[in-house]
Amino acid sequence: MALNPTLLEVEQLSVSKRLNGVTFTHQRGELLGLIGANGAGKSTLLHAIAGLQESMGSIKINEHSINAIPPHERARTVGIQPQAVTSAWALTVADIVALGRMPWGDEDEAAIERAIERAGISEFRDRIIDQLSGGERARVWLARVLAGEPQLLLVDEPIASLDIHYQLAVMEVLKNYSRENNGVIVAIHDLSLAARFCDRLCLLDKGELIALGTPAEVLTEALLSRAYGIPVDIDLDRNPPVVLPR
Amino acid sequence: MARLITHYLTPLLIFFLLLIAWISLAYGSTSVGVFDGLSAWFNNEQTEAALIIGEIRLPRTLLALIVGAALGMSGAALQGLLRNPLAEPGLVGASQGAALGAATVFYYGVFAALGTLATAVAGLLGAIAALFFMLLLSGSGRPALVIMAGLAISTVAGAALAVVLNFAPNPYAMQELVFWLMGSVSNRGLDSLIILFPALIIGCALILSQRRLLAALSLGEPVAESMGFSVKKGSRITVLGAACLVGSSVSVAGAIGFIGLLVPHMLRPFVGHRPDKLLIPAALLGAILVCLADIAVRGMPLGRELKLGVLTSLIGAPFFVWLVWKERKKWL
């Protein structure tokens, strides 16, 4: 079966007081960055797409309305890694990654192995999650959601509080996953990394989508100072690109 | 060694359970052959051995095992559901709710039409109500809130229990109730098993049906929800299962504290801390510990009987103190 290149269609999506009439589409193979100030509605948008948040408007995945897809089916197609996840119990890394197979109801060794490989965490697969550093944990959470091999991967600020080495590592993982014909949407605060890794960016401001396009189209001084309320320095011609508050 | 235990945990626990059950049947002031007694009892012979084993020790042993299994399983389920290692039937208000329900039946004859089932049904309803209000009050699984909500509900149930006692028509109500609440499995007879056994099966089945949800909940409600689980529905089923177990065991054997708290903690290292794999071993170890405690109670010098619940509290309370201490060190 040939897969439709358009994976996600969001139309006039609203969540009371948090999102207002957001419309965009998302293609397979694309890494879409969700940017905007704190409280702009990035997490709300991701949660709504994953079906964790009641919303108005239409969300279609593979041309099917999200409301028409049974929860387990939806969970197989859309994987989300919410912000600031913690494990209540001292589970091993391997057990946490295996939890990613829950939507499928199996413990597919091959899929778990691929996820561990993709996230680059095989060296500490038998360790306890409590004993890992923040950067190591971030990749474990990522491996957990990758184990479900969702066609659409939503990740909420995976690199907040990581050092620059791990920031790059995590963004690489996301980029590579999108290149395997999957859709990846990532909420991200670091605009330089957003410019460097994302194919397109979606800029939210107070619940409204104010810009959508390539990094060069979205990361302009006018748009960013409107969204963040401060002047910014933008140099997208540099390699890697730099976007910093002035 | 630890790896071996991990691998053979359930068979090992079953072995110990059978061993303890055997000791419980064999142990007592009169020495009787367990086999002889059991076979005589099954064949309806009226020998001394048949009476002692079949009418006294067998019900007591089975009761201890079932109550222990119920408490162990419900403790493991509640801790998994609330993601809180301190959740325990006694601490989340379920035991007090059950006690309140059962006491109301004792003294006012509510549900009289149900006959012997009345206390169990009332205990069950009390436990469900307590857990329902606790969940309503705590809102989410935030650990501190769960404990606070449990404390609040326990206090309310305790106050209501005091009112029940205050106006009890029977002048000895206070003493009876206090003794009953101390928990015991002696002199209950085989009748009580008619209530307890189905409650154990139903409660365990409800909880085990949600074991995947418990595993998913390790990473929090949003993650579980995103995996396709209905957390709300699953929580209700789990709570109903736990209430079934706690309500029936409290209504028959009174409050036997700390088993539900202790057992999951003892087992967690051997199941890789997985809440789903903890359930059955917790039921088995709960059964073993309560039966063991009951044997210890029977071994005390004659005279005033030490209540089973008092013994488990004596052992369990210091453990609870240690848990709080350990938790405190995490935050320092």
ipTM given for this complex: 0.92
The rounded radius of gyration (Å) of the Cα atoms in chain A is 18
How many CB atoms within 10 Å of residue A169? 18
Looking at the partner chain, which of A78, A79, A89 has a beta carbon nearest the beta carbon of B275?
Answer: A89
**pLDDT above 70 as % of chain A:** 99
Q: Considering all CA atoms of chain B, what is the largest pairwise distance in Å, rounded to the nearest integer? A: 65
A102 with B230: Cβ contact below 8 A: no
Interface test with A, best of B78, B140, B213, B219 (most A CBs within 10 A): B219
Cα(A83)–Cα(B220) distance, integer angstroms:
11
Measure A124 CA to nearest chain B CA, in Å.
15
Q: Which of B222, B186, B197, B156 is nearest to B56 (CA)?
A: B186
B-chain residues near A87 (CB < 8 A): 218-219
Measure A209 CA to nearest chain B CA, in Å.
24
Q: Considering all CA atoms of chain A, what is the largest pairwise distance in Å, rounded to the nearest integer? A: 51
Cα(A215)–Cα(B4) distance, integer angstroms:
56
Sign of CA dihedral B51, B57, B58, B59: positive
Q: Which of B154, B150, B176 is nearest to B165 (CA)?
A: B176
pLDDT of residue A241: 92
B273 with A89: Cβ contact below 8 A: yes
Residues B283 and B72 sit within 8 Å (Cβ to Cβ): yes
Q: Which residue has the tokens 């395997």?
A: A180
Residue range B202-216: mean pLDDT, rounded: 96
Looking at the partner chain, which of B212, B226, B274 has a beta carbon nearest the beta carbon of A95?
Answer: B274
Q: Give the pLDDT band (50/70/90) at residue B43.
A: confident
A-chain residues near B274 (CB < 8 A): 89, 91, 95
pLDDT of residue A99: 96
B223 with A51: Cβ contact below 8 A: no
Please tell me whether residue B282 adopts helix, strand or coil conformation.
helix
Cα-based angle B325, B328, B330 (whole degrees, multiple of 5): 120
Measure B190 CA to nearest chain A CA, in Å.
40
Q: Which of A54, A53, A46 is nearest to A24 (CA)?
A: A46
Phi, psi of A200 (to 5 degrees): -135, 160
Q: Give the pLDDT band (50/70/90) at residue A25.
A: very high
Please tell me whether residue B272 adopts helix, strand or coil conformation.
coil
Mean pLDDT of the residues in chain A: 93
B219 with A85: Cβ contact below 8 A: yes
Measure B265 CA to nearest chain A CA, in Å.
11
Full DSSP string of chain A: -PPPSEEEEEEEEEETTTEEEEEEEEETT-EEEEEESTTSSHHHHHHHHTTSS--EEEEEETTEEGGGS-HHHHHHHEEEE-SS---SS--BHHHHHHHTTGGGTS--HHHHHHHHHHHT-GGGTTSBGGGS-HHHHHHHHHHHHHHT--SEEEEESTTTT--HHHHHHHHHHHHHHHTTT-EEEEE-S-HHHHHHH-SEEEEEETTEEEEEE-HHHH--HHHHHHHHSS-EEEE-SSSS-EEEE-
Residues 6+ apart with CB under 8 A from B71: B89, B245, B246, B249, B256, B259, B260, B263, B286, B290
Question: How many contacts (CB atoms, under 8 Å) link A and B?
Answer: 74
CA dist B60 to A27, B218, B253, Å?
Answer: 67, 37, 10
Question: β-strands A183-187, A31-36: how paired?
Answer: parallel
Cα(A64)–Cα(B60) distance, integer angstroms:
59
Peptide bond into B198 cis (omega under 30): no
Residues A142 and A158 sit within 8 Å (Cβ to Cβ): yes
pLDDT digits 0-9 by tens, B126-144: 888 898 888 888 776 566 7
How many CB atoms within 10 Å of residue B188? 18
Measure B274 CA to nearest chain A CA, in Å.
7
Amino acid at B170: N
Residues A99 and A148 sit within 8 Å (Cβ to Cβ): no
Measure B69 CA to nearest chain A CA, in Å.
23
A-chain residues near B223 (CB < 8 A): 80, 82, 85
Q: Which residues of B276-285 are buried (b: 16+ CB within 10 A; e: fewer)?
A: bbbbbbbbbb
A-chain residues near B215 (CB < 8 A): 99, 102
Asked whether the predicted pLDDT for residue B84 surpasses 80, the reply is yes
Q: Encoding tokens for residue A246?
A: 């002035």
pLDDT digits 0-9 by tens, A181-211: 999 999 999 999 999 999 999 999 999 999 9
Q: Give the pLDDT band (50/70/90) at residue A2.
A: low
B219 with A92: Cβ contact below 8 A: no
- Residue B322, classified by CB atoms within 10 Å of its CB into exposed (0-12), middle (13-18) or buried (19+), is exposed
Interface test with A, best of B217, B226, B279, B329 (most A CBs within 10 A): B226
Cα(B97)–Cα(B246) distance, integer angstroms:
10
- Total H helices, total E strands in chain B: 16, 0
Q: What is the pTM of this model?
A: 0.90
How many CB atoms within 10 Å of residue B112? 9
B274 with A91: Cβ contact below 8 A: yes
Asked whether the predicted pLDDT for residue B20 surpasses 90, the reply is yes
Residues B152 and B139 sit within 8 Å (Cβ to Cβ): no
Q: Encoding tokens for residue B123?
A: 């205990």
B-chain residues near A51 (CB < 8 A): 225-226
**pLDDT above 90 as % of chain A:** 87
B-chain residues near A88 (CB < 8 A): 83-84, 217-220
Looking at the partner chain, which of A88, A103, A144 has a beta carbon nearest the beta carbon of B228?
Answer: A103
Asked whether the predicted pLDDT for residue B118 surpasses 80, the reply is no
Asked whether the predicted pLDDT for residue B158 surpasses 70, the reply is yes
Residues B73 and B283 sit within 8 Å (Cβ to Cβ): yes
Please tell me whether residue B245 adopts helix, strand or coil conformation.
helix
A47 with B222: Cβ contact below 8 A: yes
Q: Which residues of B4-25 are buried (b: 16+ CB within 10 A; e: fewer)?
A: eeeeebeebbbebbeebbeebb
pLDDT digits 0-9 by tens, A88-130: 999 999 999 999 999 999 989 999 999 999 999 999 999 999 8
Cα-based angle A152, B212, B204 (whole degrees, multiple of 5): 160
Lowest mean pLDDT among A161-170, B70-79, B111-120, B171-180: B111-120
Measure A52 CA to nearest chain B CA, in Å.
7
A-chain residues near B217 (CB < 8 A): 88
Cα(B36)–Cα(B154) distance, integer angstroms:
46
